[in-house]
Structure 1
């Protein structure tokens, strides 16, 4: 009898080692660790980040063996993993990869257990690589946010990132040294306890839930539970991923199910780096190409916010939903998604980072007034362009100022791999982003050493010292 899908994924997990990975996979995995940790440090001052830390301490105490990043606190593996997932996603500044966000779901469990066991940086890279590859493949096999049909938006009624539970579970099992049999049971259990796909509801409502598209800490806890259930002796339904009528495909709600996307070339073809996107702005990715174009206009022409009479934007066609069209900004969380607010902030030329969600800026009169001068429409070429290349985001911005209309266009946003090499966010640019995120969170004297370790992660013999340096200053 051929191996089930759970067994194939388990074998892939068990046999993945850093030494056999392509150089591009190693480098992108390191970049994702660097970026995710920086985003977590920046998230310590945000409301969602603070809630995640408080809840992590509630479930894991304050005297454990795993670091809550940027807080000066240590907790149990379960508590730290919950908190760190929430911190990584608090600003919506973290990386994007089909099915959506991945790193805040798959990295925290591996980090927490890796620290508790004193694993090497090389072992962490293997866990990061396989968890992102697995998540990407599930994303390509199921309904997706940016699905199109004949150049038009084809948005499914059920969407979400719940399938990251498999990469998260696999990463934990890898760090803990599970064999293929235990891994298969863990992955099968993960399917049955996966959080629901609630993303579509979140898009449709304003004000939107601060839980967002999927609470990172909750999915991390599901993965931790699945892994430990298998370790303690629970048996999973190994056929749950193969049964198209009654299995995971059916109860998670996806209309499209192409398991060949998961299995073809698994272990020999590494596909996630080609669509791994790093964010230069702490805002939903849909606005990044418009922000690139707007930044070009206001910086090149030194346009001040009070000189602007109008901002007109054309961009992604699938975003005409309340979460993005919202203009009633009552919580800093709302600033992460509102198109009008994001463009108004971008016109103020504030360095992207936690300052973008400073209440004085978010609720300031200058931003509010500029929001009223901002409009957004779908770009007519969006559907046909994304069908040509997955990173394509055709965009046009027009700014009326000083009696003149200034304009700029983009096809690919900064941060995405694309045919235009200038869109790649370089490692030097990620380092600069990390420095902004780490400012006033970890001591300046620690930053250089931390960066050296993260950039040469494969040379780190034990990640405990690195994680403890990333603990930062104590917060109440």
Structure 2
């Protein structure tokens, strides 16, 4: 009988661009625009530049095995480029969200590197992006989820992370390298065996937190590259790794839930990731976005200045009562990506959302740090009920006290999430504007415009390497 790995390999090998529904094609384009833009912005952040420095240590590679580091003039080995671009995409925590959590910074970098080196078509790149996100989403649904609700109560898992994305990342690489179905299966089996661990909760419980965050993008992208290439060179993978709930991937990656029946049904005919794909308008942990929507609307509508604010009281998602979100002592710019108090203080300063939010000048601005002391927050009283009613819910309520008055804002769905409220969707035009802001100071205006045009029309591009040329200096 075919294993789950065999079936995923068959899906990867047999998928044709003509089979992709139009919404899948468009969402894949949007994911590339957003992720690449985040990488360009990530060059302003130390996490991103450290990734670039480490890629240099891995070397320039050989002819036919070289790829670009986004936003630079650097050409390194494909393995090194995948590492650097993964770190760049995730550096600002500005990248898109899809259950199990972050997916794009893990599955896109290897595809970019191999696609550029192999001069694949735009249609092939879109197939790779689509299948890697679909596979990651389905695997994520078969295991524990960070925002699980059990018996009406918040029930976060004891072990969590984004390790399962290694399968989608490996599939995308193998697909673009033209691997046979058998080689793809071996690659997926190898990927599960060398996957990074799920270290999310360790990171969230220890302050100051490690700057690699929940699951470092570079090492996972590198693991996927290793799995695909080792399979190509003749290594044999464990094809039963996803079928064995007792000793397989589910067990050693730490998931208490295992629902493999969620992985394969209608694979290739029903696409689950587009309706769940969300994007970030702010370079901050997603838990804060609905609060920021409300806060920014209040201060802008009422022209409230930071020095007029007497207090900011907020009610937010239940699982954020952990050290990294409670943090008030900001020692590193990465601390600011998760601190609720710091994020609300920056939002109240009405600084346009973008990479500037993570600049040392803003992060350590005395006015921002002072306003943090006036921020308090607690769990939203209806959080569990609202999340149980619709998984896209991220309930938020905020009160700004200023000028002797109280200004109240509430939201259930943050901007950037597909939801019953059409206003919460982030349009392609808005994603393009975000890309342009991230590209400022990195690419010329001419290259930025050309890159946007090519990415929006990627299905008509014959050589993806020509797009990468527009995304480098």
TM-score normalised per structure 2: 0.98
Q: Which residue number corresponds to residue 426 of structure 2?
A: 425
Alpha-carbon separation, structure 1, partners of 2:248 and 2:228? 20
SS in structure 1 opposite 2:319? Answer: coil
User: Structure 1 residue 170: deviation in Å?
Assistant: 0.2
Alpha-carbon separation, structure 2, partners of 1:427 and 1:302? 29
Q: Which residue number corresponds to residue 300 of structure 1?
A: 301
Alpha-carbon separation, structure 2, partners of 1:275 and 1:192? 28
Runs of 4+ aligned residues of structure 1 deviating over 3 Å after TM superposition are: none
Q: Which residue number corresponds to residue 171 of structure 1?
A: 172
Does the alignment pair 1:226 with 2:206? no
For the 8 Å contact 1:60–1:80, the answer to whether it is kept is: no
SS in structure 2 opposite 1:130? Answer: helix
Q: Which residue number corresponds to residue 89 of structure 2?
A: 88
For the 8 Å contact 1:60–1:77, the answer to whether it is kept is: no
User: Structure 1 residue 150: deviation in Å?
Assistant: 2.4
Cα-to-partner distance string for 1:318-375 (whole Å, 9 max, x where unaligned): 1100010000100001010000000000011111111001111111111011100001
Cα-to-partner distance string for 1:266-321 (whole Å, 9 max, x where unaligned): 11110001110100000000000000010110111111111110001111011100
Q: Which residue number corresponds to residue 70 of structure 2?
A: 69
Cα-to-partner distance string for 1:395-451 (whole Å, 9 max, x where unaligned): 111000111100110010000000000000000000110110000001112111111
Q: Which residue number corresponds to residue 274 of structure 2?
A: 273
Q: Which residue number corresponds to residue 22 of structure 1?
A: 21
For the 8 Å contact 2:314–2:378, the answer to whether it is kept is: yes
For the 8 Å contact 2:173–2:228, the answer to whether it is kept is: yes
User: Structure 1 residue 205: deviation in Å?
Assistant: 0.7
User: Structure 1 residue 76: deviation in Å?
Assistant: 1.0
For the 8 Å contact 1:293–1:397, the answer to whether it is kept is: yes
Q: Which residue number corresponds to residue 186 of structure 1?
A: 187
Q: Which residue number corresponds to residue 454 of structure 2?
A: 453
User: Structure 1 residue 65: deviation in Å?
Assistant: 2.5
SS in structure 1 opposite 2:314? Answer: strand
Alpha-carbon separation, structure 1, partners of 2:193 and 2:359? 40
RMSD: 1.0
User: What are structure 2's unaligned runs of at least 5 residues?
Assistant: none
**Number of matched pairs:** 471
User: Structure 1 residue 15: deviation in Å?
Assistant: 1.4
For the 8 Å contact 2:60–2:66, the answer to whether it is kept is: no
User: Structure 1 residue 155: deviation in Å?
Assistant: 1.0
Alpha-carbon separation, structure 1, partners of 2:190 and 2:37? 32
Q: Which residue number corresponds to residue 331 of structure 1?
A: 332
For the 8 Å contact 1:282–1:354, the answer to whether it is kept is: yes
Q: Which residue number corresponds to residue 201 of structure 1?
A: 202
SS in structure 2 opposite 1:217? Answer: helix
Q: Which residue number corresponds to residue 99 of structure 1?
A: 100
Q: Which residue number corresponds to residue 37 of structure 2?
A: 38
For the 8 Å contact 1:294–1:347, the answer to whether it is kept is: yes
1:460-475 equivalences under 5 Å are: 460-472=461-473
Cα-to-partner distance string for 1:105-138 (whole Å, 9 max, x where unaligned): 0001011010001111110000000000000011
User: Structure 1 residue 30: deviation in Å?
Assistant: 0.4
User: What are structure 1's unaligned runs of at least 5 residues?
Assistant: none
User: Structure 1 residue 385: deviation in Å?
Assistant: 1.1
Alpha-carbon separation, structure 2, partners of 1:469 and 1:73? 13
For the 8 Å contact 2:44–2:359, the answer to whether it is kept is: no
User: Structure 1 residue 18: deviation in Å?
Assistant: 1.8
User: Structure 1 residue 383: deviation in Å?
Assistant: 1.1
Alpha-carbon separation, structure 2, partners of 1:152 and 1:72? 50
For the 8 Å contact 1:62–1:73, the answer to whether it is kept is: no
Alpha-carbon separation, structure 2, partners of 1:239 and 1:83? 32
Alpha-carbon separation, structure 1, partners of 2:391 and 2:305? 34
User: Which moves more between the two structures, 132-141 or 235-244?
Assistant: 235-244
Alpha-carbon separation, structure 1, partners of 2:6 and 2:56? 35
User: Structure 1 residue 60: deviation in Å?
Assistant: 2.8
User: Structure 1 residue 61: deviation in Å?
Assistant: 2.7
Alpha-carbon separation, structure 1, partners of 2:89 and 2:365? 26
For the 8 Å contact 1:324–1:338, the answer to whether it is kept is: yes
1:305-454 equivalences under 5 Å are: 305-454=306-455
For the 8 Å contact 2:417–2:425, the answer to whether it is kept is: yes
User: Which moves more between the two structures, 398-407 or 379-388?
Assistant: 379-388
Q: Which residue number corresponds to residue 291 of structure 2?
A: 290
SS in structure 1 opposite 2:437? Answer: helix
